[in-house]
Amino acid sequence: MKKPTFSAALPSKDREYPRYQAYSLHNFRKIPQLKRLSEEQIFDIEVVGNVFPFKTNNYVVDELINWDEVPHDPIFVLTFPQKEMLQPHHYREMAKILRSGADPEKINRAANRIRAQLNPHPAGQMEHNVPELEGRKLTGIQHKYRETVLFFPNQGQTCHAYCTFCFRWPQFVGIDEWKFAMKETDLLVEYLRRHPEASDVLFTGGDPLIMSPRLLAGYLEALLEADLPNLQNIRLGTKALGYWPYKFFADPGAEELLALFEKVARSGKHLAIMAHFSHYRELSTPAVRKAIRKIKQTGAEIRTQSPVLRHINADAQTWAKMWKEQVRLGCIPYYMFVVRDTGAQHYFGVPLVEAWHIFRKAYQMVSGISRTARGPSMSCGPGKVQVLGVSEVNEEKVMVLRMLQGRNPAWVNRPFFAQYDPEAIWLDDLQPAFGKERFFFEEEFPLPRARKFRHGAASLKSAEAAKTLS
Ligand SMILES: *Cc1c(COP(=O)(O)O)cnc(C)c1O
Ligand code: SF4
């Protein structure tokens, strides 16, 4: 790989590390490396970037992307909008509007029309799982699985760069108006106090580590001071190690951040950094390695996760290399996800059977201590469903599945069977095996089976959403 240049964003030569510089639709043409792209390629970015969120930064551009491999470079695909992410007719619609020089309002209306057809709210995210406290809806909390409470701090609703596959894309383009977000720490503490079954709180977003260390300290210290006996694990879900590792040792407040980690770890709670890494390239720079070292020195643990993504990491070698590298650096592989049924799933999606082959082959290539990863796993309505594999029972070819997490805790770890379907990409594409009509959990939680979304047609729900958006 090329040596980092820091050319784009370093205003002065007296700074050892680059200063964060975000690039999005309004300024990405200033990225020096873009000279390597044709006008047509740049226009494609603009077309797709008007529908899906687009943000990258100088670390991603200067240190992660190998511009010799663009447009096929995995990190380029990970952060720059790709033409094929839109269905051809949506692409044509948006391209035509941009070429006509339409005003921003008209562009936005067209964008919302297209977005509404891309299943912006999969798995009932918005309706289910929002708990209440004395009749008040806690919109910043999701409590779906008994042990783990998700918390969406108000100031953590963006990221250092955006992944092109991200299922949170509706909140980044403003459809959701940060509906999840919440700032009241007191309510979180009170909620955890009243739910002694919850042992974990997982800060998520966006990226909670986009917050200033001082703000984050406000949340974490409140949790420590509350002295909740049930709270064992505090997790921070973040892509900062992948997209802006300078956060941990060079940015203003880096020392404060590490001191905060140390304080949590010393308090007797387990602090887990849940790091998203989608490719081993993200583990290769001096900056990320230094950040990992610094975090580990505080006593915090780093666990890693990513979806399996076409055009980025959809092969076993990439996963095996990534897991090995993570373990060597002291991180613990945790989940391999399957991309969910939203946005550009047709572009990034990998069928369940193929994802299982990738998982299995990668698993075979690494030693036992790298086999802490579980997957491939779908986060769907009833729970996190893992594809255990393909097998044959009484001459019927079946897929064996189990829940790693369940809306009903009694569902967890109970194997179940679906008809073999090499094209299925999501749980509701699957049919129960052995002539059964429903999966065992469907008495409580029926699946919406008439879904047409993966062929690009709008679902009923999305059509309704389209009405309210346009
Ligand atoms: C994945 C997930 C969690 C965390 O589950 P663990 O198995 O504890 O890692 C919690 N809530 C939701 C909604 C999730 O999707
Ligand atoms: S870092 Fe996570 S939340 Fe942010 S864009 Fe990527 S996948 Fe989405």
**Cα 263 to averaged position of ligand 2 atoms, centre (Å):** 27
pLDDT at 460: 35
Entry pTM: 0.90
Mean pLDDT of the region 115-131: 74
Q: Which residues are bridge partners to 301 per DSSP?
A: 272
For domain 120-299, the CATH architecture is Alpha-Beta Barrel (3.20)
* Token pair for 173: 């383009």
Give the residue, out of 207, 308, 312, 339, with the most ligand 2 atoms within 8 A of its beta carbon, to mutate for a pocket test: 207
Atom of ligand 1 nearest to the CA of 335: 9
**Does 177 have pLDDT greater than 60?**
no
As beta bridge partners, residue 330 has none
For the chain, what are the domain ranges?
22-117, 120-299, 333-470
Instruction: With a cut of 60, say whether residue 181 has pLDDT above it.
Output: no
Question: Using CA positions, which residue lies closest to atom 8 of ligand 2?
Answer: 166
Q: Is the pLDDT of residue 191 over 80?
A: yes
pLDDT interval class at 302 (50, 70, 90): very high
Average pLDDT value over all residues in the chain: 89
Ligand nearest to C-alpha 337: 1
**Residue 192 contacts residue 228 (beta carbons within 8 Å):** yes
Q: What are the respective helix, strand and coil percentages of the chain, to the nearest 5?
A: 40, 20, 40
pLDDT digits (tens, 9 = 90+) for 192-251: 999 999 999 999 989 999 999 999 999 999 999 999 999 999 999 999 999 999 999 999
Angle at 104 (CA atoms; ends 463, 111), nearest 5 degrees: 25
How large is the average pLDDT for residues 362-375?
Answer: 98
Q: Which ligand 2 atom sits nearest the alpha carbon of residue 165? A: 7
112: which 2 tokens? 């919302």
The reported pLDDT for the residue numbered 12 is 45
Tell me what pLDDT residue 468 has. Answer: 33
The Cα 31–Cα 42 span in angstroms is 11
Q: What is the pLDDT of residue 170?
A: 78
